[in-house]
Structure 1
């Protein structure tokens, strides 16, 4: 269930507040952590795909070698 908030309600009381340097540093840290997490997830998927590809190549080569020997 989402709650819709109009701009007027959201900005009420925030007109005179500005982001401090610490706020920007925290935001930058959160963004970098998010991007790093996404790259790690992608890296795991690429590793899994690579290992599966190597496994099937080894399986195919051993099958071909087996039929060649028969």
Structure 2
């Protein structure tokens, strides 16, 4: 039982850590997306299309925008 409890605790800690990292990366990507929007040379049509396809996944939006532009 002790091994199971330790496994659950370590999984929970890892899950919280990964969630925190993901939220930080999403926040950075969201900021990057707004930098693109405010940039005069930003392709707003492409950005809108990517946002429509992935409305809550800012990491994918920024990555795909930079690779497709």
TM-score by length of 1: 0.56
Aligned length: 42
**Matched residues in 2 for 1:61 and 1:32: separation?**
45
Q: Which structure 1 segments of 5+ residues have no match?
A: 1-21, 64-70
After superposition, the CA RMSD in angstroms is 1.7
Relative contact order (C-alpha < 8 Å, sep 6+): which is higher?
Answer: 2
Q: Where do 4+ consecutive residues of structure 1 move more than 2 Å?
A: none
Q: Which structure 2 segments of 5+ residues have no match?
A: 43-69
TM-score by length of 2: 0.57
Deviation at 1:49, TM superposition (A): 0.4
Larger Rg: 1
Report which of the two has the higher share of helix: 2
Corresponding position of 2:31: 52
